[in-house]
Structure 1
Amino acid sequence: MALFLSLCLVFFSIVCSSASATLPPYLDGLLPNGDFEKGPKASNLKKTVIKGKHSLPDWEIKGLVEYVSGGPQPGGFFLAVPRGVHAVKLGNEASISQNVRVRPGFIYSLTFGATRTCAQDEVLRVSIPGQSADLPIQTLYSTDGGDTYAWAFNATTEVVNVTFHNPGIQEDRTCGPLLDAIAIKQMPPLKLTRGSLAKNGGYETGPHVFKNFSTGVLLLPKQQDLISPLPGWIIESLKPVKYIDSKHFSVPTGLAAIELIGGRESAIAQIIRTVPNKSYNLTFTIGDAKNGCHGSMTVEAFAAKETVKVPHASQGKGEFKAASLKFKALSARTRITFYSAYYHTKLHDFGHMCGPVLDDVRVYPVS
């Protein structure tokens, strides 16, 4: 009997170790050569153009892909590469791709630095097989290092081919999106906050944030991103909202918050479970990110038939205030929505869009 139990234990250990060996690790960081600091050999470069589809380490390229350095460029243009020295530029119909091992059934979020390089409208298509989004990047939201975006997908296979593609056809074939860093994060399952019906109300679960430099991460409206990189929340507007972290910005509580940078074109919402005719209290915190965003700010909040406007006179010092809204549920599902009533830019940088910060959203029944 003892021998039988020992053999069972050995067999169980082998099965468990084999299963764990086949699972990919938890991902939260740069993709292999995601910062493009490992460049092609000199023999595979013609000036800045990469020759050969496997010449860029860890990536496969198609079409006109350039390996460039940040800083002033010929013609007076400036390429922002804030997280290193090198980046890639995608010309007409060009793409870069990489196979990534993932866990089927999990949500993953890609975080990447992307910006336009010419005055024309530019689009960046990010995709895995069966899921894609076209990101309009002609609008610059940051002037101090380019913009950073997040895009989420649902893993259905053990290996996904992550592709960044320029679908545009410009008169200048060298125009196209610039990519300077690409990271991936496996999104953990959401847990309810004790005492609150709102999920992820503190925005602690979100996309990867680059550690060495961050202007915030732009979260696109649901028209471009069907799976939200901010679990529990819907970006239901024309403009993105910005995910900011406590290392680079002032946030009210915890590690992260949301900055509403697009005025009435930038809204964030969540649908919560409620009991019809029961009263609830929605509480939240607003303020500024201590990033030079000055002015008279107002955040509007909606729940059921109720609304509240919360003013905040920002001096750009990272000050915050609490607010609340009492409402009566009309059905088993209630949408709570927040947006900024006005447009804002930094006091000394009118090209840098900013806005009020939202954090610590809670909903609880009123007894």
Structure 2
Amino acid sequence: MGNGIRCVALFLLVGFAARVVFAVTDGLLPNGDFEQGLDKSKLNGTRVMDPHAIPHWEISGFVEFIESGQHVDGMMLPVPKGERALRLGNDATIKQKLSVTRHTYYSISFGAARTCAQAEKLSLSAPPDSGVLPIQTVYTSSGWDTYSWAFRAKHTSVWFSIHNIGHEEDPACGPVIDHIAIKVLRPPHHTKDSMLRNGNFEDGPYIFPNTPYGVLVPPVLEDVHSPLPGWMIMADTKVVKYIDAAHHAVPKGNYAVELVAGLECAMLQEVHTVPGRSYRLSFSVGDGATGCDGRLVVDAYAGREVMKVQYESRGTGGHKRAQLEFVAIANVTRVVFHSSNHHMKHDGTLCGPVIDDISLVPVHAQAHAARRLR
């Protein structure tokens, strides 16, 4: 009888352990929108007192459970979608154990809004990968931005966590977090039509349905595995915005990139080239039909060549095609894009030119193919 009871207990323990590791699929993490709620007896006001009170999550530090329309210390905290969100105060962490595929790249997308601190930062971790994302710059009129971060799975399970590293005089002061999703990233490859990888931006972080403001991609200094496969974002704190055709004017395909940070942020890719050989870089520049009007200018660099592409925007969509020919001077050439200026929409939010459909080909190969066709 004793052995039987121990076997049943062991079975239940194993079953419980298995239930806390969830195989991920593209989309929301289990209770990634915190809509499942929690037992109100585990709250002290809005503060969550039990580390396991929030279904599918484990917490530590000063974590608050926020409901839509709720006032905390005289301030109404934002809950842009659904009815519930979390605020991460001093030294607060939320984490979830996920079942993943070894050596596979994943991108995390999550919503965040500043509350009372001025220079809020969030540390994201999926060991051995980690990064710190600054969220002091606001890119939407609502104050609610969607960020992305990527990691490479080393094992078949991983603890993914979001941690507020700030320590404010008010221990509750910190960002509000909501809607956390994951997406598998495919390894980027160049194609027969282009030496660039993911030049059409069709592979990138998860964009939430019915979310009109895209996803912010952080600089490589904060995220060594880019959520935008094939591309590196070079900046101190600024980002580029990954946008979709469902909510923006996209030159080609379903996705593009908006350069929202002017000279403070560059997007680049390194390509193997042959010194002395000529190449042609082609790309589209336009606006996303979000009211970003005026003269939008993209600077493109390759080899020793620099090209400024101007696009007169009415903020209603449209694009133009540009080409830059250059001679490679090294075995590796950096292809770089950034916006020449800072731009703002009429609501005061940052915006910029949209870039898409980037290709790089050897010039002589095209000419040789044309001669064969004739």
Normalising by the residue count of structure 2, what TM-score does the alignment of the two structures yield? Answer: 0.89
Q: Which residue of structure 2 lines up, in the alignment, with residue 140 of structure 1? A: 138
Q: Give the secondary structure class of the aligned counterpart of 1:282.
A: strand
CA distance in 1: counterparts of 2:58 and 2:205, whole angstroms? 25
CA contact 1:82–1:145 (8 Å) conserved in 2: no
After superposition, where does 1:61-100 map in structure 2 within 5 Å?
61-71=59-69, 73-74=71-72, 77-100=75-98
Distance verdict in 2 for CA 1:73–1:314, change over 3 Å: farther
Shift of 1:327: 0.3
Q: What corresponds to 1:301 in structure 2?
A: 300
Change (3 A) 1:94 1:306: same
Instruction: Find out whether 1:209 has 2:174 as its counterpart.
Output: no
> Alpha-carbon deviation of 1:250?
1.2
Partner residue in 2 for 1:115: 113
Paired residues of 1:251 and 1:359 also in contact (CA < 8 A)? yes
Deviation at 1:209, TM superposition (A): 0.6
Distance 2:198 2:39 in 1: 45
The CA distance in 2 between the partners of 1:26 and 1:71, in whole Å, is: 31
Once residues 267 and 118 of structure 1 are traced to their aligned partners in structure 2, the CA distance between those partners, rounded to angstroms, is 30
Secondary structure of 1:264's aligned partner: helix
Correspondence for 1:219: 217
Secondary structure of 1:36's counterpart equals: coil
Are 1:198 and 1:272, in contact at CA under 8 Å, matched by a contact in 2? yes
* TM-score, normalised by the number of residues in structure 1: 0.90
Which amino acid in 2 is paired with 1:282? L
Q: Give the percent of matched residue pairs that are identical in Structure 1 and Structure 2.
A: 46
Matched to 1:241, the amino acid is V
C-alpha contact 1:82 1:213 (8 A) present in aligned 2? no
Is the 2:113–2:145 Cα contact (8 Å) retained in structure 1? yes
On the 8 A contact 1:83/1:213 being kept in 2, the answer is no
1:275 alignment partner AA: V
Question: Match of 1:198, SS?
Answer: strand
Does residue 354 in structure 1 map to residue 347 in structure 2? no
Candidates 354, 360, 363, aligned match of 1:363:
360
Deviation at 1:142, TM superposition (A): 1.2
C-alpha deviation, 1:292, in angstroms? 1.2
Partner of 2:283: 284
Aligned length: 343
Per the TM alignment, residue 210 of structure 1 is displaced from its structure 2 partner at its CA by 0.4
Amino acid in structure 2 at the alignment position of 1:194: K
Deviations, residues 244-287 of structure 1 (Å, cap 9, x unaligned): 01111111111100000000012100001111101010000010
**Kindly tell me: are residues 93 and 25 of structure 1, through their superposed partners in 2, closer, same or farther at Cα, counting changes over 3 Å?**
closer
Q: Any conservation in 1 of the 2:32–2:180 contact (CA below 8 Å)?
A: yes
Deviation at 1:71, TM superposition (A): 4.2
Q: Which amino acid aligns with 1:47?
A: G
Distance 2:67 2:223 in 1: 30
Summarize the Cα distance change of 1:214–1:78 in structure 2 as closer, same or farther, 3 Å threshold.
farther
Q: How does 1:224-303 map to 2 (within 5 A)?
A: 224-238=222-236, 239-303=238-302
* Rounded Cα–Cα distance in structure 2 between residues aligned with 1:291 and 1:181: 23
Q: Is the 8 A contact 2:117 2:168 kept in 1?
A: no
RMSD: 1.6
Instruction: Extract unaligned runs of 5+ from structure 2.
Output: 1-21, 365-374
- CA distance 1:311–1:139, change in 2 (3 Å): same
Deviation at 1:183, TM superposition (A): 0.4
Q: Which whole-Å deviations, capped at 9, do the CAs of 1:106-164 have from their partners, x for residues lacking one? A: 11110000121114321111112222111111211112350111000110011000011
Q: Aligned equivalents of 1:85 and 1:118: distance in 2?
A: 21
For 1:171, give the aligned amino acid: E
Match of 1:197, SS state, is strand
Amino acid at match of 2:326: F
Indicate if the aligned counterparts of 2:113 and 2:143 stay in contact, CA closer than 8 A.
no
Give distance in 1, aligned partners of 2:338 and 2:79. Answer: 31
Task: Classify 1:50/1:76 alpha carbon distance in 2 versus 1 (closer, same or farther; 3 Å).
Answer: closer
Alignment partners' CA distance in 2, 1:197 and 1:45: 55
Shift of 1:192: 2.2
Q: Distance in 2 between matches of 1:284 and 1:35?
A: 37
Between the aligned partners of 1:255 and 1:79, the Cα distance in structure 2 is: 33
Contact persistence 2:88–2:174 (CA under 8 A): yes
CA 1:345–1:78 in structure 2 vs 1: closer, same or farther (change >3 Å)? farther
Deviates more, 1:195-204 or 1:41-50: 41-50
Structure 2 counterparts to residues 154-193 of structure 1, below 5 A: 154-193=152-191
AA aligned to 2:171 is R
Partner in structure 1 of residue 26 of structure 2? 28
1:318 partner amino acid: G
